Amino acid sequence: MKKVSKRIGLVEIYTGDGKGKTTAALGLAFRALGHGIRTYIGQFMKGYSYGEVKALKFVKPYIKIEKYGKKGFIHVKKEPEREDIELARKGLEKAKKALYSGKYGIVILDEAITALFFNLLKIDDLIDFIRNKPKEVELVLTGRYAPQRLIEEADLVTEMKEIKHPYRKGVKARKGIEF
């Protein structure tokens, strides 16, 4: 494994209503492994196994994914349940361990911003996470509805904007492509 300490790690945010946020984070991890950099991905609000998890066997030990949500928990429509809040909080703790482990050049908090929107995470906890990251680690947060306070903490922010989406035409999420 290459030393990651020569680089300065930034804080990146991928937000917006368009497709490509999680996917871009995965691509980042894939590209980094070519340089011998390891990535930790913590996924909030996701319990199911997706294609990316099945792909991990190819890229050991460079990419590690941990899912923090419970199976079947994907979208919150009303107030979050205590169990889900607890899972998200524990997830952030796990991510913190990865962040300080010295093992990873990139740490991705996938859907952390969505979890924030649904009151599963507190913004102060996320900002605390960001401000206390080791300076050499690249930190990536994804999810819709990034609030201004979070954007201010980031170095790089991209909004994925939906221009056209086939769901509107009735095409469902497809295995191998969307998940």
CB 21 within 8 A of CB 27: no
**Residue 89 CB, nearest approach to a second copy (Å):** 27
Nearer to a second copy, 76 or 136 (CB): 136
Task: List, edge to edge, every strand of the sheet that includes 106-110.
Answer: 11-15, 138-142, 106-110, 39-43, 63-67
Nearer to a second copy, 54 or 90 (CB): 54
Give the integer Cα–Cα distance in Å for 162 and 106.
27
Residues 73-112 within binding reach of a second copy (CB under 8 A)? 105-106
CB 81 within 8 A of CB 69: no
Residues 121-160 within binding reach of a second copy (CB under 8 A)? 138, 151, 154-160
Q: Which of 18, 76, 130, 134 binds a second copy (CB under 8 A)?
A: 18
Q: Which of 78, 163, 170, 173 binds a second copy (CB under 8 A)?
A: 163
CB 109 within 8 A of CB 95: yes
Q: Of 56, 85, 58, whose CA–CA distance to 70 is shortest?
A: 85
Q: Please give the residue ranges that form the binding site for a second copy (CB under 8 A).
A: 2, 7-8, 10, 12-16, 18-20, 22-35, 37, 50-56, 58-59, 62, 105-106, 138, 151, 154-166, 169, 171, 174-177, 179
